[in-house]
Amino acid sequence: MAAASGTVRLQRCVVSPAGRHSASLIFLHGSGDSGKGLRRWIKEVLNHDFAFQHIKVIYPTAPRRPYTPMKGGLSNVWFDRFKISNDCPEHLESIDVMCEVLTDLIDDEVKSGIKKNRILIGGFSMGGCMAMHLAYRNHQDVAGVFALSSFLNKSSVVYQGVQKSDGVLPELFQCHGTADELVLHAWAEETNSALKSLGVSTKFHSFPGLHHELSKGLEDERLAQSLESRNWRPGLPLLGGAVGHTSSLPGTGPRTPAVLQILVRHAAATSCWSKTTEQTKTDGERWRGHP
């Protein structure tokens, strides 16, 4: 399915910041979902929107296209796959087309006054994979990348793009459940290790018992405690509250599921400074039938 930048404008679901807009977060859904579906899913988990004081959250929707793992059936997917495995070629034609389309979204944010180094890109499942292609091959000057329950193929061209870089690369933040039977935890670990070996600063959080989802419903106390002990850069205008305390963050609370709690913290902190100057089941709801 061919398309070109300028011929496709993605539908976008947007959560505006409560205050002055000075950073943006682009959150890409998993296959078969939509921007609205992802926003609704997160809202159900958090009991409120994933929202910030200064960060605009953008949930675009992938165009419908034939998807090979569904025997050519139409689905909202960012790109096609020959099969769901980390040991097969990537469908580069469809990936490259979508990189162009998503670049238009990034360009719109830049035109609105948001610098590239204050744009965070990530996603869930296929969305996280798409984010890594987009950032590490085309936009290495963004603030950071996050990938939840995601992976790259062993021979991914993303690795080649990173190898060719001679500058500071955006940090990669990953979360993955050890009980994920759709996207294996080992695939995500391999992705993280490969990028780290090529010079990418990475953070990887494993969640025991978590399947292919954003939350297992019960907060992981060990991870919650690690949030409190993290050495956040002092003096940064995080979200208007005390740096280093989860309770100060709009969008989080003592019962916020650990995956999203960590992501909220990461998004808020990453968007506060420039990475170029700082060394550093197909129903679109609870279960995704394909990654």
Catalytic residue, from 33, 80, 180, 220: name it: 180
CA distance 25 to 14: 10
94 is an active site residue: no
Catalytic residue, from 212, 215, 220, 266: name it: 212
158 pLDDT more than 60:
yes
Q: For residue 3, is it within any domain?
A: no
pTM, rounded to two decimals: 0.79
31 pLDDT more than 60:
yes
3-state secondary structure (DSSP) of residue 178: coil
Residue 207 confidence (pLDDT)? 84
Say which amino acid occupies 17.
P
130 pLDDT more than 60:
yes
Q: For residue 285, is it within any domain?
A: no
Q: For residue 111, is it within any domain?
A: yes
Q: For residue 268, is it within any domain?
A: no
CA distance 126 to 31: 6
91 is an active site residue: no
Residue 190 confidence (pLDDT)? 97
Q: What is the DSSP annotation of 15-79? A: E--SS---EEEEEEPPTT--HHHHHHHHHHHHSS----SSEEEEEE-PPEEEEGGGTTEEEE-SS
3-state secondary structure (DSSP) of residue 154: coil
Answer with the residue of higher pLDDT: 20 or 239: 20
Q: For residue 155, is it within any domain?
A: yes
Task: Band the pLDDT of 287: cuts 50, 70, 90.
Answer: very low
125 pLDDT more than 70:
yes
Catalytic residue, from 24, 34, 75, 125: name it: 125
| Range of the structural domain that residue 224 is part of | 12-229
85 is an active site residue: no
User: 83-97, 149-163, 186-200, 276-290: which has the minimum mean pLDDT?
Assistant: 276-290
From residue 44, alpha-carbon distances to 49, 62, 217 in Å are: 8, 22, 11
User: What CATH number has the domain bearing residue 208?
Assistant: 3.40.50.1820
User: 71-75, 147-151, 165-169, 227-231: which has the minimum mean pLDDT?
Assistant: 227-231
Q: Are strands 73-76 and 144-148 parallel, antiparallel or unpaired?
A: unpaired
Q: For residue 280, is it within any domain?
A: no
DSSP state of 138: I
The mean per-residue pLDDT over the stretch 111-122 comes to 93
216 pLDDT more than 90:
no
Q: How many of the other CB atoms lie within 10 Å of CB of 199?
A: 11
Domain count of the fold of the chain: 1
Task: Band the pLDDT of 276: cuts 50, 70, 90.
Answer: very low
Q: What are the pLDDT digits (tens) for 85-101?
A: 999 999 999 999 999 99
Q: For residue 239, is it within any domain?
A: no
DSSP state of 169: P
Task: Band the pLDDT of 168: cuts 50, 70, 90.
Answer: confident
Q: What are the pLDDT digits (tens) for 63-78?
A: 999 999 999 999 999 9
Q: For residue 118, is it within any domain?
A: yes
Answer with the residue of higher pLDDT: 100 or 44: 100
